[in-house]
Amino acid sequence: MKVILSGGGTGGHIYPALALADVIKEKEPETKFLYIGSFRGVEKNIVPKTGMPFKQLAVQGFARSLSMTNFKTVWLFMKAVKEAKKMIADFQPDVVVGTGGYVSGAVLYAAQKMGIPTVIHEQNSVAGITNKFLAKGATKIGIAFENARSFFPADKVEMIGNPRAQEVAKMSSDFSWTTYGLSDDKKTLLIFGGSQGAPAINLATLEAIPEFNKRDYQVVLVAGPKRIDNFMKMLKEQGKTLGDHIKVLPYIDNMPAVMQKASVLVSRAGATSIAELTALGLPAILVPSPFVTGDHQTKNANSLVEVGAALSIKEPELNGESLVKAADALLLSDEQAAVMEGQSKKVGIQEAGDRFYNLLKSVIK
């Protein structure tokens, strides 16, 4: 089998594609892959490290207001489609998979015009612009949230989940909290606002430090490599100190392994984060980012809250008091945390990669 993967811009589009590739390689080791990404997205840093053949196209998004840059966007898109057709013709794929981002729009549109089966994957509860554009010509569409079904032609949609969940569920972890001078015998609150940290979450944690100092459970904040200095500076200016059971870190590079050792997670509500925490059945306090297209993180979070799989705090309501209250509710109550763990596992589709693989096989001529 020969597969072209395309997804770009953010890790939320890239990691599901790479997780799918791993599943395919397990089932059909001789499969050949080509990943087509953009010059501007983080895929240029992530995909080459896997050893997968990687090619790039120049694309950009539309400005939300009337702007001359939109003419350049259209021109770049048409040029990218033409270049993508050449890449596709050279590779001769059996199927082309798009996981979102502007670059996948050009690649899958080119494949559709060439009569090659295409499958798109929507990770969020609100469909992205690119996937909505591609839906009419797509052969099949895989979704990770039931709420996304309404955005696409009903006869093309299948619920498959996020392949990242299967990848994380299979991971083993020998991580120990003693690495950071903490104990493996205590409950641990892991606060993670993304690889760069989240200012609102950092500030709420800073405000909560006096109360966290009184708690028996451990607290680990991943503040972000560019934000940790400011956090520590404000901590000192406010005359606050960290108890021995509280750690502030700039970054954690093996987050899924660390998540397996956490008791409760505080995080944004991006598709990848939700796939990972539901794969592990990890009780969570979600703080949706209000700065995303279609407010999809709020809808992602609500899908878990509605079934009792997570708590959620809107960013304008996030402060030290609300954070401590939510943390106490889960870390001081074994019963509520146990119920949430069970519900979280029900939401997570741990065989998502297998479902995606079967979907691909169904469209190959």
Q: Are 198 and 287 in contact (CB under 8 A)?
A: yes
3-state helix, strand, coil in the chain (%, to 5): 50, 15, 35
Annotated binding residue 297: yes
Structure tokens at 27: 């089932």
* CA distances, 157 to each of 135, 151, 160, 347 (Å): 10, 10, 9, 18
Q: Are 3 and 24 in contact (CB under 8 A)?
A: yes
Annotated binding residue 10: yes
Task: State how far the Cα of 258 lies from the Cα of 251, in Å rounded to an integer.
Answer: 12
What's the one-letter identity of residue 233?
Answer: K
DSSP state of 220: E
Which 3 state secondary structure label does DSSP give 69?
helix
Q: Are 249 and 222 in contact (CB under 8 A)?
A: yes
Task: State how far the Cα of 91 lies from the Cα of 174, in Å rounded to an integer.
Answer: 40
Annotated binding residue 195: yes
Task: State how far the Cα of 18 lies from the Cα of 275, in Å rounded to an integer.
Answer: 14
Task: Tally Cβ neighbours within 10 Å of residue 86.
Answer: 10
Q: Are 148 and 260 in contact (CB under 8 A)?
A: no
Annotated binding residue 252: yes
* CA distances, 7 to each of 77, 123, 260, 318, 345 (Å): 15, 12, 27, 32, 27
Annotated binding residue 12: yes
Q: How far is CA 127 from the centre of its chain?
A: 14
What's the one-letter identity of residue 229?
Answer: D
Annotated binding residue 31: no
**Which residues, including other chains, have CB under 8 Å from residue 134's CB and lie 6 or more apart?**
98, 104, 105, 108, 109, 112, 118, 120
Closest CA to 267 of 320, 190, 211, 322: 190
Annotated binding residue 270: no
Can you say which residues are annotated as belonging to the binding site for UDP-N-acetyl-alpha-D-glucosamine?
10-12, 124, 195, 252, 297
Can you say which residues are annotated as belonging to the binding site?
10-12, 124, 195, 252, 297
